[in-house]
Amino acid sequence: MAFLNRKTPPHIVTLVLTTGVAALSLNIFLPSLPGMARHFGVDYGLMQLAVSAYLAASAVAQFVVGPISDRFGRRPVLLWVVAIFTLASVAALFAPNAQAFLAARFVQAVVATAFVISRAAVRDMVPGPAAASMIGYVTMGMSVVPMIGPAVGGLLDGLFGWHANLAVLAVSGAALFALIWADMGETVSGGGLGFGAQMRAYPILLRSSRFWGYALSAAASAGLFYAYLGGAALVGEQAFGLSPVEVGYFFALPSLGYLIGNWVSGRFSLHLGMDRMVLWGTTLATAAIAVALIAKAAGVLGPVVFFTAVGITGIGNGLSLPSANAGLMSVRSDLAGTASGLGATMTIGTGAVLASLTATLLGPEVEVARLLWVMFASSALSVGAILWVMRRPQ
C-alpha cells in the first residue's frame, strides 16, 4: 500500500501529529509547575528550568539536526529523534528528584527538532509561497494539540497528579514512532547534500540579509510567546488567583488564536505573499500587547483581558510564522534543513532567554506589567525585522 511505501512523501496528518507531539511536550505540564516545585521541595525558579533549559537544549539540537537531516534524510533522523524522546519521557516519569527530572527534560528536548524536519520536508515537496501555505495548514493542525494540552494537563494533574502528564508523553512518543515508520517517506532527493558541500554553501546562506531578516522576525514573534510561557503559570496562580485547571483552560487561548491565524495563512499566503503575511501578523500581535499594557495602566487588567490579549497574539503568530519560516528556507532550497535548523535555533534560543528573564523579572510580588513589557518589546522587534526585509532586494 502507498501508506507503507517509504519512498512516498508523508501524508499531511503525519506531519501534523509529529509537530503536535513536539509542541505537547513543551506545554502539557505547564499548569503543574508550581505543584511540581512543591513536590520536589525546590523553588519555582529551579522548576521553571523545565521550560527554559528545555528550550536551550532544543536550540542546540535543532542547530545540529538540521544539517544532519540535509545529509542523511528526514526519515531516519526523525525516527531516531522520536525514539530518544520516548525513552527520555519514561526517565522523567520515574525521576526521583528535581535534578533527575530536569536531566530527562534536557534529553526530551531533542523532539523539538521535529519542527525543523517537518518544515524542511514541506520545503522539499513544494516551493516557497506554496510552502508557506502548506506550513500554515500543518501548523494549523498541530496547534489543536497544544491548545488542549495545558487544559488536559491541568485536568490530569487534578485527577491523578502531574506524573500522568509524563505518561501521556511516553505513550504519544511510542505511537508517533510507529506512525513515522509506516508513513514517513523520504523527501530528500539524491541521497542528501554532503557536509562538505553544505560547508561550501553556508557562506551564501549566512550572507543573505533576507535570511537574517526572516529569521529575526520569526524569533522575535515566537519570543513573545516563550516569554509568556516563562511566567504565565505563576501569574495565573498568584496574580489572578487561578487554580491549575483554570490556568490550563486559559492556556488554550493563544493556541486557539494560532489555529485561526494558521488557517488564514494557509488560505491566503499564496495570494497575499509571504512578506505581507508576516507584517500583518507581527503588527496584530504587537497591538494586542499594547492594549493589555493600557488596561494594566488603567487598573482593569484581569485574567480574561490578559489571556484574551495573549490569544490575539496567537492569531498574529499564526499569520506570520509560516511565511517567515518559508522565507528563510527559500534562500537556498538545497539547505532547507540547515536554514530551518538555524532559524529554529535563533527562535528557541531567544525563547529560552526570554522565558528565564521573565521568571526572574516577575519577582516575589509577581508584577504582570513586567511580563507584558518583555512580550511587547519582543513583538515590536519582529515588526522592525520584517520591515527591514521588505526594503531589501529580492
3-state secondary structure 240-251: CCCCHHHHHHHH
Candidate from 14-23, 162-171, 197-206, 381-390 with smallest mean pLDDT: 197-206
Q: Report in angstroms the alpha-carbon separations of 256 from 17, 61, 155, 162, 318.
A: 17, 28, 18, 24, 10
Helix, strand, coil abundance in the chain, percent, nearest 5? 85, 0, 15
The DSSP secondary structure of 77-96, one letter per residue, reads HHHHHHHHHHHHHHHHHT-S
* Integer Cα distance of 214 and 278 in angstroms: 9
Q: pLDDT value at position 356?
A: 75
Average pLDDT for 187-211: 69
Residue with cell 513515522: 180
Contact 317, 187 (CB under 8 A): no
pLDDT digits (tens, 9 = 90+) for 53-75: 787 788 788 778 877 887 788 88
Residue-level pLDDT at 54: 81
Is the predicted pLDDT of residue 342 greater than 60, yes or no?
yes
Q: Are 310 and 253 in contact (CB under 8 A)?
A: yes
Domains of the chain in start order, with CATH, are: 8-187+195-390 (1.20.1250.20)
Tell me the whole-structure pTM to 2 decimals: 0.69
| C-alpha pair distances (Å), 359 with each of 21, 39, 274, 353 | 25, 19, 34, 10
Burial class of residue 246, CB neighbours in 10 A (0-12, 13-18, 19+): middle
| Residue 111 DSSP code | G
- State the average pLDDT over residues 177-197: 75
C-beta separation of 32 from 153 below 8 A = yes
Side chain identity at 250, as an amino acid letter? F
pLDDT of residue 363: 64
Distances (CA, A) of 117 to 67, 73, 342: 10, 9, 12
Position 365 pLDDT exceeds 50? yes
Site of grid cell 528528584? 97
Query: Cα(108)–Cα(153) distance, rounded to whole angstroms?
Result: 17
Looking at residue 291, its amino acid is V
**What are the pLDDT digits (tens) for 84-108?**
999 999 998 898 898 899 999 889 9
Q: What is the pLDDT of residue 1?
A: 38
- For 124-158, the DSSP string reads HHS-HHHHHHHHHHHHHHHHHHHHHHHHHHHHHHH
